[in-house]
Amino acid sequence: MKDSSKSNQRTPSGLELNTSYTPAGSLKPGEFPYTRGVHPDMYRGKLWTMRQYAGFGTAEESNQRYRYLLAQGTTGLSVAFDLPTQMGYDSDSAMALGEVGRVGVAIDSIDDMRTLFRDIDLAKVTTSMTINATASVLLALYVAVAEEQGADLRKISGTIQNDLLKEYIARGTYIYPPKASLRIITDIFAYCRDQVPKWNPISISGYHIREAGSTAAQEIAFTLANGFTYVDAALSAGLTIDSFAPRLSFFFNAHNHLFEEVAKFRVARKIWAETLKEKYQAQDPNSLKLRFHTQTAGSMLTAQQPRNNVVRVAIQALAAVLGGAQSLHTNGFDEALSLPTEESARLALRTQQIIAFESGAADVADPLGGSYLVEELGRQLEEKARWYLREIGDRGGMLACIEAGYVQKEIQEAAYRTQIQTDQGEQLQVGVNCFQVDEDAKLDLLKISPAVQERQIKKLKKFRAHRDKKAVQAALEALKKGAAGKENLMPLIVSAVKANATLGEVSDAMRSVFGLHREILTI
């Protein structure tokens, strides 16, 4: 394996490479406002975390995939949950019919969470969980299982996405109204600060905003506007800026245009750092550093000539690395057709490893810094992003814009323009509107058996039959009382899952107090 901590590097021809290249008097990597990266040596000091987003069927099946990926060199786990888990329904709910284990793993109880991480030491692995409306419950389950394993909670690390604002904007897996969601999110901030200080309590996500059809400038602006809204909510709840801002993290998309994407990441870091310093008076340098995970663009994958997606994923991953990502997931080439197979997941991981160990992209901090093209694209993106941020402020802030449907409408119109350009051949998409062939893909695709739901429900019923029902009810009543008051909900949720309350029952307890959010129509 490559020694990424070496003080110097050479090309295969023996040419020496400096840590970075900076004209005298110019901004260096690791310097405020971190346009050129959050660390002076970037990947020379530490490579990005190589994650593979995975989860399907039952906890047993997903556990096998995780142990396989770890054996293949993955350096962090990234968990995909099925829609019932994301929406706060147990697998035997009528709302879960036909969706159990389909787009991720089904997690109903602490027993499922134990199985999901069986033979995986949570003290030694970082785990990212792509979960939002039920993030508090999944974090509670993770904490409970880590404690059972004997892990020191002050040392375990990972991330929950926990970004509800983008759910109202772009994705739709929300449960509660925005104000209730912000209350839960800030409760998680405070809990993590006190109990699991190395955990990232939120991953503010531009990924799904971009997947919904936004432009790169909109991805920057709407993501950062969400971030500033969370900062305001935490401050209103009594937290101080430097007590939580260092653990905020971000999640961005990586699209096909290599140079625009690199510029996008640089601009996002700059605007975040300058705003945290100037508006919020943050003093801790770590509060100013925008750290982010990147996933390659699922919306850019094509069902036509699907093997072409290998090249698309490689370009997108390279953009993330050249842009300074701290963590990266690469999509399987077959994901326009199904969940990735074991083989396509391995190839996606190998793509990251080739970029890290063979391409030279990790040998120099900010290798595209000073590029006339990247710098000019950055200037234009910053101008457009700051215009949106001012517009959002003039309209009363992000919550007001979401409630009025402004942000949703902007994304929808951008998506429509892109689709028209593709349909009319102005934007070329290889294999879709040009260079087309009649092709039988002949791919072995991952198929989820309908029997998964039956097995999961049987397991859930057995779990419910062997628990202390009075203890469960007492824990749920305590949670309802806390939700109706001002108590931090996280300890109550942890107590409930330890008492063997299910995810659906915990969610129902909070639904009974907070109610449900209804989608805003923008047409």
Q: Compute the mean pLDDT over every residue in the chain, rounded to the nearest whole number.
A: 95
Tokens of 151: 């892990």
Q: How confident is the model at residue 522 (pLDDT cuts 50, 70, 90)?
A: low
Q: What's the average model confidence in pLDDT over 141-162?
A: 97
- Each residue of 385-429: pLDDT tens digit? 999 999 999 999 999 999 999 999 999 999 999 999 999 999 999
Q: What is the pTM (predicted TM-score) of this model?
A: 0.93
pLDDT more than 90, % of the chain: 91
Is residue 520 over pLDDT 80? Answer: no
| Exposure on the CB side of residue 369, measured as CA atoms within 13 A | 23
236 within some domain: yes
516 within some domain: no
DSSP state of 57: B
- Each residue of 478-515: pLDDT tens digit? 999 999 999 999 999 999 999 999 999 999 999 999 99
Q: What's the average model confidence in pLDDT over 170-195?
A: 96
CA distances from 256 to 27, 216, 314, 380, 427 (A): 27, 11, 9, 18, 12
Q: What is the tally of structural domains in the chain?
A: 1
388 within some domain: yes
In this prediction, residue 75 carries a pLDDT of 86
473 within some domain: no
Q: Is 344 in contact with 180 (CB distance < 8 Å)?
A: no
CATH number (domain holding residue 135)? 3.20.20.240
Range of the domain at 123: 43-423
Write down how long the chain is.
523
- Each residue of 256-308: pLDDT tens digit? 999 999 999 999 999 999 999 999 999 999 999 999 999 999 999 999 999 99
163 within some domain: yes
In this prediction, residue 4 carries a pLDDT of 42
80 within some domain: yes
125 within some domain: yes
- Each residue of 221-257: pLDDT tens digit? 999 999 999 999 999 999 999 999 999 999 999 999 9
In this prediction, residue 463 carries a pLDDT of 98
Q: What's the average model confidence in pLDDT over 120-133?
A: 96
DSSP string of 227-292, one letter each residue: HHHHHHHHHHTT--HHHHGGGEEEEEEE-S-HHHHHHHHHHHHHHHHHHHHHTS---SHHHH---E
Q: What's the average model confidence in pLDDT over 332-346?
A: 93
523 within some domain: no
